[in-house]
Amino acid sequence: MKMDKACKKTSLSFQSKYMTFFILGQSVQGIAAIPLYVLGITFIYNSVATHSAGIYLGTARIKDRESKQPHLLDRDQTKDQEFGASIKDLFATFGILIKNPMFVYLSLSRASESLVMIGASEFLPIYIENQFLLTPSEATTLAGLVLIPGGALGQILGGIIISKLQMSCKGLMRFVIVTSAVTLVLLAFVIFVRCDSIPFAGITEDYGGTGQLGNLTAPCNSHCKCSSSFYSATCGRNDIGYFSPCFAGCTYSKTLKNHKTYYNCSCIKEGLTTSDNQGDFIDARHGTCDSKCYKLPLFIAFIFSTIVFSAFAGIPSVLTILRIVSDKHRSLAMGVTFVILRIFGTIPGPVIFKIVGETSCILRDTERCGSTGSCWIYNKTKMAYLLAGVCK
């Protein structure tokens, strides 16, 4: 009873202290960002030459040039429709935009791009950490070095290319289709740039036939009374991973050159034996086993290229939206675009990728209060297929 009260109190305390501030912070951020991303983009588009807007987004003469540009849709049907600032007029303008199929498709396209980028920023560090056996800090840093420069480079290059080529609406759409196709091809190659999983006792390996899959306890360690509440990765000389030195049956340990080594491990009978500087034979070491996989540079190259080509479509999509809607509707069109982007991209992105991560987990922590804890071990192959599948 006391445990239940403590858990409930902790949960309520967390919600009351942090969730309110998170929601308030996101609301303020959204209010502050709208004038910049909606009115700012529209202002730039109306103030520079049409073919130069791409660079700026990544006087009467300009208006004349814009009017001579070919468009995908006939805008004469909306040029005489003038609306005021009332709520009724706002909904009328909104109705016109929603009835424009090209506008809806482009907005959803931008939302899907945002979903992948936001979700990848959440999932990619976990993927790199588990696939290539890096520390959490190393994986997070590496993911940031890939995502941020890759996205920025793609946006800038996309703007420069369409500006130099002075593309029409159809040209912009072709550019988006081609770059998206290249993105999918590169993403398909990412599936094959992965490392093989290391056998893990009790999870993917059954203690040499003496135990059962799904059970960390086996005859060789049953006398140790091991606890699964604390994960301490251990690698045996047999190149098999263990949940902790206790589950490997180790009874003795030393610290040599800041590295923990374990001895007299009853569950480890095979593998190359090496002795320490004191003549004792080492059975296991602290940490995960070396997968002998050296594909990380190749993976980084592929994922960086994928992000660059994916970001190519950002500026062309915005320019196409600005060209296919009436001059009077541009500000509202950009606002609606960002609402769609948030609803179908930014918000569900982390949730979807979180679910993807959960489904590829094969061993997780069960916290003291009974809630689901963090994942300790992932299925590497499943992670690779799910990452590519969701991004597509």
For the segment 200-242, what is each residue's pLDDT rounded down to a tens digit? 988 888 888 888 888 888 898 888 888 887 888 899 998 999 9
279 — alpha (psi -120 to 50), left (phi > 0) or beta? left
The confidence band for 262, taking pLDDT boundaries of 50, 70 and 90, is very high
Average pLDDT score, the chain: 78
Query: CA–CA separation, 93 vs 334, rounded Å?
Result: 13
Please report the beta strands in the chain, taking only residues with DSSP state E, as ranges in sequence order: 234-236, 241-242, 252-256, 259-263, 274-275, 281-282, 284-286, 361-366, 372-378
Residue 75 has pLDDT above 50, yes or no: no
Q: Which amino acid is at 49?
A: A
CA-based nearest residue to 388, from 208, 189, 202: 189
Q: What is the pLDDT of residues 153-202, one digit of tens each?
A: 988 888 888 888 888 888 888 888 888 888 888 888 888 888 888 889 88
Q: How wide is the angle at C-alpha 51 spanned by C-alphas 49 and 53, nearest 5°? A: 70
* pLDDT per position as a tens digit, 84-136: 566 777 778 788 888 888 888 888 888 888 877 787 788 888 888 888 888 88
What pLDDT sits at residue 36? 62
Under 8 Å between Cβ of 57 and 49: no
Cα–Cα separations (whole angstroms), residue 54 to 110, 161, 171, 319: 16, 8, 13, 7
Answer with the residue of higher pLDDT: 321 or 43.
Answer: 321
pLDDT for 368 beyond 70:
no
Residue predicted with more confidence, 285 or 360: 285
On whether the CB atoms of residues 364 and 372 are closer than 8 A, the answer is: yes
Cβ atoms of 322 and 75 within 8 Å: the answer is no
Confidence of residue 81 (pLDDT cuts 50, 70, 90): low
Percentage of the chain modeled with pLDDT above 70: 78
Q: Which of 211-215, 242-246, 258-262, 365-369 has the lowest mean pLDDT?
A: 365-369
The domains located in the chain, with CATH, are 41-71+88-195+294-391 (1.20.1250.20), 222-286 (no CATH)
Distances (CA, A) of 141 to 133, 288, 377: 14, 20, 21
Exposure string (b/e) for 33-59, b if CB count within 10 Å is 16 or more?
eeeeebeebbeebbebebbebbbbbbe
3-state SS track over 319-354: HHHHHHCCHHHHHHHHHHHHHHHHHHHHCHHHHHHH
- Tell me what pLDDT residue 235 has: 92
